[in-house]
Each structure stands twice: as C-alpha cells, then as structure tokens.
Structure 1
Amino acid sequence: MSRHVAIVTDSTAHLPHQTMERHGITSVPLTVVLGDQALEEGTEISARSLALALQKRHSVTTSRPSPEVFAAAYRAAAEAGATAIVSLHLSAELSGTYDAALLAAKHAPVPVRVVDTGMVAMALGFCALAAAETADAGGSLDEAVAAAEKRAEGTSAYFYVDTLDYLRRGGRIGAAQALLGSALAVKPILQLDGGRIELLEKVRTASKAIARLEEIVAERAGVGSVDIAVHHLSAPDRAEALAERLRERIPGLIDLHVSEVGAVIGAHTGPGLLGVVISPR
C-alpha cells in the first residue's frame, strides 16, 4: 500500500514490528560498535547480547546511521509512491542521527521534513505513530509533522537505572554530571528534559526508587486519555510487575506497551534499566 506521505524513523523508537508494518513506517538502524565489530541494531545485535557484553565490561559504543543509509530509505519511499516524507528522530542532544538525516534530505527525490523530536524510545515511537495515523487519514506533510510535534510536546519519559556509570562513560547525562559524585552512591531516577537526560531524584534503594518512579508516572498520567510504554533491559519481571500496577492505577490508560530496549539505548543505560513513557492522546 503506497502512502502520499511516508514516515521514516530510527531504530531507537522501538515501535512493535507489526505496528510499523500496519502503518508502513520505515526504521533506519543505528549501529552498536562492540570491540572491533560494527553491528546494526535490531538485526545484527540483540539487547540480550548487548547486556552480556556490558556485564563482561567489553568496550561498547554507538554511532549514528550514515547519510547514505537515510538517502537509500528516502529513495525507497519515493519509489513506493510517496510524494513527501516525514523523518522523525531521537533527540539531537543524544545523537548525530538528526544531522545525518538532514544531510540526506537535501538530495532526496521528494520533499523531506526532518524533525528532532527531542525524544527517544517509545517517546519517539508515539510521535512516529501520530504522524503515520495522520498520513493514513490523508493528512498533508505539514499535518503529519504537526501531529508528531504535538505528541512530542505532551510526552514525558522517566527512568530508573541501577548505576549512572554507563551514562557517564557515554557522556549522556548532561547537567546531571554535576551531581555525579554523590549520585553514584544511590539509585537515580532520571527524566528526558529538553532532549537531554537529567537527574530528577536520588533514592536510597532500588525498591524505593521503583516505587517512586511509579508515583511519578501516576501523577503525570492524571485522569485523561494516555498511552504508556514500559521499557527495560534484562529486567522483564520488574517491567511486567510495574506495568500491572500502572494498569490498575491509571484510569485513562488506552494502550500499554512493555518492551526491552534495543542495544543502542542499552549501551548507555546498562542492565537493570526500567523506563516509562507517558504520552497523552
């Protein structure tokens, strides 16, 4: 099925495969560099393999897709019948992916609007889904972009990590770095703020931190219609338990997704990650 406006995102969005197929969303993979191997997220390295590598303290870094990879995705969309493309990506504060997409868009065969959503994981995924649903309904390029941007404005992401060490190594903790010395001794709760990862609270134990994360999410969700995603890395039982409690606590919950993050996000957070995205309709 060809679409007038095609939607492209990247592999950090973690949209369910069937959802992407249903809406014709294309995902461009980021790369995980494990030792001397460069591996595409989603096809060449799994979250489980990444977690094992981190636990063994192997060298793990990540890199953006090349402009050539984006150019190929844009050409494929045009050849499939698209007359315009919305390209939605993770925060430019966290990755050069947005810049690579911008470079490729300059030479695309159809108009491409590249959007820095300021988001990551399903916070990005919900934006891509909003754009796709608008395009599916016959919306224009501007309308699909506006739908994504509106979704981004209302979306929040909070997460717990067992240690800030992985974020410190990758230089992804932004202003929270000033608090690093004391934060390393406790269990941090972080948030996505202005496209950056910021330290929100410090809690003494893992159980108290997860309970506090649940409280923050319930307060932020309120009583309106909302979609939620619970993410984890090597912590499926913890994630399912939190999801069950949120199902009981949030009256306006519509869709609830539970998924393991991919290798790119996992490389910067480490095993034990528990994250929640709250996205009002």
Structure 2
Amino acid sequence: MPVVVVTDSTATLPADLAAEKGIVVVPLQVIIGAEVFDEGSQGATPALVAEALREFLPVSTSRPTPAALLEVYERLAAEGATEIVSVHLSAEMSGTYESAQLAAREASIPVLTVDTRQVGVATGYAAISAAEVAAEGGSADEAASAARARAEAAYSLFYVDTLEYLRRGGRIGAAAALLGGALAVKPLLQIEDGKVASLERVRTSGRALARLEELAVQDAGDRPVDVCVAHLSSPERAETLSAHLASRLEENLEGREVRCAELGAVLGAHVGPGMLAVCVAPL
C-alpha cells in the first residue's frame, strides 16, 4: 500500500465502503453536556445527537488533534505506506484540515493534505476518487488532484427545518442574511466556496423537497454522476427523494444506486433534526 488515503468521519462513508476502498477514517468528537464521544457507531451516533438537540442539551463538536492525526500517519507508515493523502472537510467549517497540516509537518513520510471546500458526502466522494487513483498505482500527487477535482465539481445543497442550530454553532456563513424576520420560511442552502450560503427560500417542507429534487436533476444535466441523499431523523422524506432521483436520473447513474444515508453526528449537531441534503458528484 504505497499511497494511503485518510479522511475524517464527516465524510459520511459507510464502514464497509471505506474498508473496500482502503480509506482510513479519523473521528471527530461530539461533546454532549460534559461527555466527549468519538463520532461513530460505538460513540456519538446521529440518534444520540438528535435526541440531545431535541432535549436542548448543550451539544458542540471538536476536531481531531494534530497528535491524533500524526498517530494515524505514523501507524500507516509502520504498516508500509510510503505516502499519504489526507482529505478533509472545508477549512472554513472546521479546524480538521489545519490539524492535518500540522501533523503532516511532523510525519516521517510525505503527507499531502486536501481541503475539499466541501462537507459531508462530497468530501467522501473526493476521498473515494483519491483512493481509486491510488489503487490503480497513481502517485500521491495524482490522488490529491483527483480528490480536489471531484470536490470542486460536486454540488451540495440542503434543507433545514430551522437555522437555529447553524446559528448556535457559528456555521451559518453567508446564509446569515436569512436570520431575523426570515425565520418563518424554509431555507434551502448550499456549500459555496467552502461555506454555507443561502440558495432559495420556500414556504413549506414539501416545497423544499420538490426543489431539492429539481435542483439536483438540473445540476446533473446529461453527465454521469453519483448521487447521495443524506438526512438527520428524516428517513421517510429521504427515501422518497432518493426514489424520485433514482427514477429521474437513471441514465446519469448508469446502473449505480442513489445512496441514502443518515448524516453523521458531527454535522448533525450543526443542522438539527429534519435536515435533508443532496450531493450530486459528477464522475
């Protein structure tokens, strides 16, 4: 394994898919009250975070430390890796990328860090593209370039029932203009230049669902794409949207499924229950 890809748990990669692609996932942390949990099935789960938010418990998140990432890099070096590509969520949204940069300086083998300027599933697709290049014998530079290109081409949009959770976490970015009197509307948001930005305002959650579908289809155009629908405590709406997109984008998908996944605990802590997101990632 000369080139190994590392990413973080916000990439929303299923454990079996990460294992299949040889991607190493480093967890971020969720703090609920005074307790600290690693994000994952044995720690902070989406259900745990959603319940804490509903009960108005204090919920915050924390990046992995440079020391934690360096430990992963050194373990991989000891196992035979000669280069590492470390692919992470937007530096505008988290200090994880900075931790990776600091750890890379101390690593005993070359580590290329990639700021995807994305969050969630789009970061996951970038990591997958890097891993596929590495598996075909590509260099770390080529794998990192593939990750950046995939992330740049990806379209990430989402709906939240309320902007309150984004406001609490300070992640609202250019969407701040929607606060105040606009809280009565249902906001559609997008990731733009690494930040959360407003896209449209709709009056009902049903209308929001329809617009997510239309915008995803519009972005896909006639290109081959991967598509994922993510949600937090909203499985029925997510499955409905997934089914509609699978039907309308059948040619674009070329036999691939629309992945439907629950958003991880860290990102879930910042968007709140009821969130629905779509990522369209051209191949």
- TM category, shorter: over 0.9
Matching of residue 130 in structure 1 with residue 129 in structure 2:
yes
**Counterpart for residue 258 of structure 2:** 256
Task: Please list, as runs of the form range in 1=range in 2, the aligned pairs for 1:191-230 lying within 5 A after superposition.
Answer: 191-230=190-229
**Counterpart for residue 88 of structure 1:** 87
Partners of 2:52 and 2:170 in 1: CA distance: 19
**CA contact under 8 A between 2:86 and 2:112: conserved in structure 1?**
yes
Partners of 1:134 and 1:77 in 2: CA distance: 18
Partners of 1:195 and 1:153 in 2: CA distance: 10
**CA contact under 8 A between 2:231 and 2:261: conserved in structure 1?**
yes
5+ residue gaps in structure 2?
none
Task: Please list, as runs of the form range in 1=range in 2, the aligned pairs for 1:50-69 lying within 5 A after superposition.
Answer: 50-69=49-68
Q: How many residues align?
A: 279
- DSSP 3-state at the match of 1:118: coil
- For residue 279 of structure 1, what is the amino acid of its counterpart? A
Q: Which consecutive aligned stretches of 4+ in structure 1 deviate over 3 angstroms post-superposition?
A: none
Matching of residue 162 in structure 1 with residue 161 in structure 2:
yes
- What is the Cα deviation at residue 166 of structure 1? 0.3
Q: Please, what TM-score do these two structures have when normalized by structure 1?
A: 0.98
Matching of residue 47 in structure 1 with residue 49 in structure 2:
no
Partners of 2:9 and 2:48 in 1: CA distance: 17
**Counterpart for residue 24 of structure 1:** 22
Partners of 1:242 and 1:23 in 2: CA distance: 27
Partners of 1:182 and 1:144 in 2: CA distance: 46
Partners of 1:242 and 1:176 in 2: CA distance: 24
- DSSP 3-state at the match of 2:190: strand
Task: Please list, as runs of the form range in 1=range in 2, the aligned pairs for 1:96-107 lying within 5 A after superposition.
Answer: 96-107=95-106
Partners of 2:82 and 2:184 in 1: CA distance: 53
Cα RMSD (Å): 0.8
- For residue 81 of structure 1, what is the amino acid of its counterpart? G
- CA displacement, residues 40-93 of structure 1 (integer Å, 9 cap, x when unaligned): 101311110110100001000011111111011101111111100000000000
5+ residue gaps in structure 1?
none
Match of 2:12 among 4, 11, 14: 14
Partners of 1:103 and 1:182 in 2: CA distance: 42
Partners of 2:208 and 2:80 in 1: CA distance: 49
- What is the Cα deviation at residue 255 of structure 1? 4.1
**CA contact under 8 A between 1:117 and 1:149: conserved in structure 2?**
yes
- What is the Cα deviation at residue 252 of structure 1? 0.6
**Counterpart for residue 77 of structure 1:** 76
**CA contact under 8 A between 2:246 and 2:257: conserved in structure 1?**
no
Partners of 1:37 and 1:56 in 2: CA distance: 15
- For residue 198 of structure 2, what is the amino acid of its counterpart? L
Q: Please, what TM-score do these two structures have when normalized by structure 2?
A: 0.97
